Amino acid sequence: MDRQIRIAQERGDFDDLPEAVRGLTAERDVRDAVTELDHQIADWMWVRATVVPMAQAWAVEHGVFAAATVATVVGGVTGNERLQQIAKPLLAPSLAVRVLRCRRDTDPADTALLVAGLAAATVGDVFMIDPDEDARLVAGASSFAVMQASYIGLLTRRGARPTPAAALPRLASWAGASALLRARSRPVSAPLTGYGLALATTSTLAADPALAPGATEVAGLPLPNRDRRSWLGLGGFAFLLSDGIIVGRRVLLRGARSRAAAEGAVLATYAVAQLLLVEGMLALSRRRRGSGSRVTGTA
């Protein structure tokens, strides 16, 4: 019977088929049409769930952040303090706008923690425009400690826990930087050591592989992919690197060119760290809301 149907389909002539077989053929046509419609609906749903969020993933505030980052780095390398005074205070607020735009899809407590952290970061950024002055450096570190506390609070709420692979190298780096500060820059060693411990904690929690299921790990660090939760680990590492360069610049570098280059590296890695951490925490909060809905965190 199937052979008869295939021949009739090839000819486009079903008149010679028995009536029961013609009915069966019509039923198959309907079933095939329904299957095709299902496929079209599935394709549309994929576009809605993947392509549309990708188009909306980067907004005006990201453009402001990118422009402010470039201007801040240029100002730091060239020693143009006026340019930094204009651009650097825009970094954290532009990310705060991003947080507020996503507030309907984000846990309210997480939104509050992120906004508070970014507000503290803005204060810290203003103080750190001149990091060579001890009082400003300590005030900046104190402000960033508040930011780190906010980030730690959010990550902990979302289930982040320290792992030996992440904690041990970060604690070792913190201990080394603390010893270097005590030996070469004692007036600021105590507050910077305290801040460094908060930073190491954030970086350790952000590297928890449980926050980024499916991400490839290298040396205990989840590598970034389309799922923005996987950006957390690199964000925490970049923040650690940025502040490590601050210590090295302060106690080891003396030449004007090397210090200017180091300042540019500090600012660039700091901006990358903030972007990765904020986007990662937004995705983390959206994906774990109590409502049971699963909002994608793809880039």
Question: Do the beta carbons of residue 29 and residue 12 sit within 8 Å?
Answer: no
Q: Does residue 296 surpass a pLDDT of 80?
A: no
Section 105-127 average pLDDT: 97
The tokens of 26 are what? Answer: 């019509």
What is residue 50's predicted lDDT score, i.e. its pLDDT? Answer: 42
For 299, which DSSP code?
Answer: -
Question: Do the beta carbons of residue 14 and residue 25 sit within 8 Å?
Answer: yes
Q: Does residue 53 surpass a pLDDT of 90?
A: no
Question: Do the beta carbons of residue 281 and residue 155 sit within 8 Å?
Answer: yes
| Residue scoring higher pLDDT (272 or 286) | 272
Neighbouring C-beta atoms of residue 10, cutoff 10 Å: 8
List the end-to-end C-alpha distance of the chain, in Å, as a whole number: 52
pLDDT class of 196 with cuts at 50, 70, 90: very high
Q: Does residue 288 surpass a pLDDT of 90?
A: no
| Residue scoring higher pLDDT (286 or 64) | 64
What is residue 101's predicted lDDT score, i.e. its pLDDT? Answer: 94
The tokens of 166 are what? Answer: 């992440």
Place of tokens 């980030």: 151
Section 266-281 average pLDDT: 98
Beta strands at 221-222 and 217-218: parallel, antiparallel or unpaired? antiparallel
Q: Does residue 14 surpass a pLDDT of 80?
A: no
Amino acid at position 143, single letter: S
Q: Is 261 exposed, middle or buried (0-12, 13-18, 19+ CB in 10 A)?
A: middle
State how far Cα 3 lies from the chain centre. 58
What is residue 58's predicted lDDT score, i.e. its pLDDT? Answer: 78
Distances (CA, A) of 50 to 93, 194, 287: 28, 42, 15
What is residue 286's predicted lDDT score, i.e. its pLDDT? Answer: 85
What is residue 52's predicted lDDT score, i.e. its pLDDT? Answer: 43
Q: 249-269 pLDDT, tens per residue? A: 999 999 999 999 999 999 999
What is residue 126's predicted lDDT score, i.e. its pLDDT? Answer: 98
Q: 161-175 pLDDT, tens per residue? A: 999 999 999 999 999
Residue 130, strand partner residues: none
Q: Angle formed by the axes of helices 60-78 and 91-101, to 10°?
A: 170
Neighbouring C-beta atoms of residue 140, cutoff 10 Å: 25
Question: Do the beta carbons of residue 277 and residue 206 sit within 8 Å?
Answer: yes
What is residue 57's predicted lDDT score, i.e. its pLDDT? Answer: 72
Cα-Cα-Cα-Cα dihedral of 79, 82, 85, 90, to 10°? -90
Section 125-152 average pLDDT: 96
Mean pLDDT taken over the chain: 86
Question: Do the beta carbons of residue 203 and residue 165 sit within 8 Å?
Answer: no
Phi and psi, residue 221, nearest 5° = -110, 120
pTM of the model: 0.79
Section 13-34 average pLDDT: 55
Residue 222, strand partner residues: 217
% the chain with pLDDT above 70: 77
State how far Cα 223 lies from the chain centre. 12
Section 266-277 average pLDDT: 98
User: For the chain, where are the E strands, in sequence order?
Assistant: 217-218, 221-222
Section 207-225 average pLDDT: 93
Length of the chain: 299
Section 167-188 average pLDDT: 96
Q: Is 158 exposed, middle or buried (0-12, 13-18, 19+ CB in 10 A)?
A: buried
